[in-house]
Structure 1
Amino acid sequence: MVLKKLTQRLALSVAFATCTLAPSQVLAEGLDLTGKTVEWVIPFSETGGSAKWANFYAPLLSEALPGQPTVVVKFMPGAGSTKGANWFQGQEYSDSDGTLIFGSSGSTQFPYLLGDPRVRYEYKDWNVVLASGTGGVAYLPPDLAEKMNGNDASALRETDFIYGSQGATRLDLVPLLAWEMLGLNVEPVFGIKGRGDGRLMFERGEANIDYQTSSSYLKGVTPLVEAGTAVPMMSWGALDDEGNIVRDPTFPDMPTFKEVCEATDGCETSGEKWDAWKAFFIAGFPAQKMVFLPNGASEDAINTYAKAFEAVKARGDFAEISAGRLGKYPQMTGAKADAALKSATEVPTSAKEFIVGWLQDRYGVSLK
Structure 2
Amino acid sequence: MAPNETDDRTTAGEAVEPRAGRRKAARYVVPVTVMGVAAATIGLVPALADSGDPDLPDITAAQLVEKIAQSDVERLSGTVKITTDLGLPNLGGLESGLLSGEDGEDGEDGSSADPSGRLTELASGTHTLRVAADGPDRQKLSLLENAAEYSLIHNGKDVWGYDSASNEVYHATVDEADAEERTEQQPPATPKGWAEQALKAVDDTTSVKVDGTAQVAGRDAYRLVVEPRQSGSTVGAVSIAVDSETGMPLKFTLTPSSGGSAVVDVGFTKVSFDRPDASTFEFTPPKGAKVTEDTEQDRGHGDFGKAPERGPKSEEDLAKGLDGLRMLGEGWNTVATFDTGAGAGLPTEEEVGGDLGGFLGSLGDQVEGDFGKGTVFSTRLVNALVTEDGKVYVGTVTRDALVKAAEAGK
* TM-score interval (norm. to shorter): under 0.3
TM-score (norm 1): 0.25
TM-score (norm 2): 0.23
Greater strand share, structure number: 2
